[in-house]
Amino acid sequence: MSESVADPKDEHLVHRLVEMIRSGRVGDAMALIEAHADPGAMGAALGSAVKTIYREHHDVTSMIVAGNIGLAYCVRNAALAADDDAARQLRTIGRTIAFNAAANCWPGWGDAGIVIEDAHILAGLKLAEESRALVQELGLGARAQGTAQWLVGALELAAGRLAAARAAFAQAEQVFLAADAGASQAPAHALMARGYMALAQKADPQSRAEGAATLSEILARLRAEGSKDAIFFADQLATADRILIEA
């Protein structure tokens, strides 16, 4: 699960950033970044670098470095922006960079060629919390708020912090339900959040049977709902169950 930022106009710039960060030349990368005249374009380039390092190079450690650089750059330049629109654009880019980098630290995707270490999960959790804070600061809608809460919960689950994970998933479910108030049945996003609460239950030996039963029920409801989102969520829950719980 990743979100989009504006496509960078300078692919050569993205390539240089990727090469510098992956080779450990962070000082050179920072010099290049700070010399750039257009913060919005540089923010977009850093967002693309995060995706490229993960998708093409499977380098989670360097991806986290790029994500932290991109987030800090966007937040810092937002504070220096000449007008509110420019500041909001940069905070939005920074929020997306943090979200994507954090999401890529979650082992539950099962992406081929990716190895997630404990340190990656903790770094991802910090980025997810930063992304969630920016969602609140920007006043983004309920879906963005719920997804931000879900991502924090997902990384808390991967870190073995089951109570914190369940609390974040419960908050996500409430946000999603409020966004679809009046619907005849729980929307797919709310069912997804409830499914992840069941995963956290299943991970706890004291509630494993209850969690397994609830998860089975949620998977059946998502597949019966049948929308593109519902099927994606059901498949992803099953994958996360296999990787994080059943392994």
**Per-residue pLDDT reduced to its tens digit, 192-227:** 999 999 999 999 999 999 999 999 999 999 999 999
- For the chain, give the percent of residues with pLDDT over 90: 89
More confident residue, 142 or 21: 21
Number of domains in the chain: 2
Q: Where is the domain boundary, 125, 140, 155?
A: 140
Averaged pLDDT of the chain: 93
Q: Judge if 6 and 94 occupy the same domain.
A: yes
- Please report, for residues 99, 125, 126, 131, the alpha-carbon distance to residue 43 in angstroms, rounded to integers and kept in the order given: 14, 21, 20, 15
- Please report, for residues 23, 216, 217, 227, 241, the alpha-carbon distance to residue 209 in angstroms, rounded to integers and kept in the order given: 47, 11, 13, 28, 14
What pLDDT shows up at residue 184? 46
Q: Judge if 103 and 193 occupy the same domain.
A: no
Q: Where is the domain boundary, 140, 164, 197?
A: 140
pLDDT digits (tens, 9 = 90+) for 131-168: 999 999 999 999 999 999 999 999 999 999 999 999 99
Q: Judge if 220 and 246 occupy the same domain.
A: yes
Mean pLDDT of 67-80: 97
- For the chain, give the percent of residues with pLDDT over 70: 94
Burial of 135 (0-12, 13-18, 19+ CB in 10 A): buried
Q: Judge if 136 and 109 occupy the same domain.
A: yes
Q: Which domain holds residue 171?
A: 142-247
